[in-house]
Amino acid sequence: MSDRVAIVGVGLIGGSFGLALKAAGHDGELVGVGRDPERLEDAVRAGAVDRVETDVVAGVSGAAVVLLAVPMGAMRAVLEAIAPGLGDDTVVTDAGSVKGSFVRDARAVLGSLERVVPGHPIAGTERSGVGAAFPELFRGRRVILTPLEETGESATECVRRLWSMTGAAVECLSVEAHDRLLAATSHLPHMLAFGLVDALARGDDPEAVFRYAAGGFRDFTRIASSDPVMWRDICLANRESLLAALEAYRDDLDDLTAEVRSGDGEGLLARFRRAKSARDRFCG
């Protein structure tokens, strides 16, 4: 097999992946694959890929590795489109935020998952598109791979090697553990940010609310500027795990509401101290 890597979807993640590989000295060809010729040419001008293809089958043909960096809602259709161009030894991986739905889609379309390595870079910004891509996006960040029992070790090692070249720390989890943890630490916070901003925007005098919003509000709601379509797809793809996280948070919010209503200063202080200690320990 060649060292060619096909990146289907050259936006923030796909573009940063290509830029990072080039910066690390990857000497194989990087092919950008997508539907919009203008956006693909932007990827070439940015240096994220060497050439581009709007013909999906032609784009993945001859590639050693195909990275799918597309929205979760488009994953199955993209898998169906690339299937005729995949070689027997082609490794297929993805950068989606939900692994269970990707595995189901890949199994339905490809059958054998011996050469399929589900993956997820825990990195990103609220911006999108190749214009927002930069080669340091993954440096020092975690990339989670969720290989299955049937996944070949050589395929997993191939994908691990590429992500390591970007400067990421690569770890492996089960599909179920990944989706449960990401529902709590990524998907739930995004739902809360979107929900809060939407509620305030539909309330009384939203202009005044946002005019006088302090830095804490801006920090907390920054992720509400993320791509709405992408997050709709993530919500639906990880529905069960996200529902469990939302329901657990709702129960805790009920407890917090009760503490405020009853004037339970000691309860509030204990809660805030626990939260500060945990965040200082794990995120400081």
Q: Which residue has the tokens 């203008």?
A: 38
| Terminal Cα-to-Cα distance of the chain (whole angstroms) | 44
Q: Which residue has the tokens 């190749």?
A: 130
Evaluate whether 271 touches 259 at the Cβ level (below 8 Å).
Answer: yes
Partnered with residue 169 across adjacent β-strands are 142
Write the single-letter amino acid at 174.
S
Rounded to two decimals, the pTM is: 0.90
Per-residue pLDDT, 126: 81
Evaluate whether 43 touches 15 at the Cβ level (below 8 Å).
Answer: yes
Best CA proximity match to 120, nearest among 61, 55, 187: 187
Tokens for 209? Answer: 């609310």
Q: What is the Cα–Cα distance from 219 to 201, expressed in whole angstroms?
A: 17
CATH number of 5-173: 3.40.50.720
Best CA proximity match to 237, nearest among 195, 181, 194, 179: 179
> What would be the CATH architecture of the domain defined by 177-283?
Orthogonal Bundle (1.10)
- What pLDDT tens digit does each residue of the chain (284 aa) get? 469 999 999 999 999 999 999 999 999 999 999 999 999 999 999 999 999 999 999 999 999 999 999 999 999 999 999 999 999 999 999 999 999 999 999 999 999 999 999 999 999 888 889 999 999 999 999 999 999 999 999 999 999 999 999 999 999 999 999 999 999 999 999 999 999 999 999 998 999 989 988 889 999 999 999 999 999 999 999 999 999 999 999 999 999 999 999 999 999 999 999 999 999 998 87
Query: How long is the chain?
Result: 284
Domain spans of the chain, in order of start:
5-173, 177-283
Instruction: Give Cβ neighbours of residue 194 (< 8 Å, ≥ 6 apart).
Output: 224, 228, 231
Pairing relation of β-strands 91-94 and 169-172?
A: unpaired
Q: How many CA atoms lie within 13 A of 37 on its CB side?
A: 1
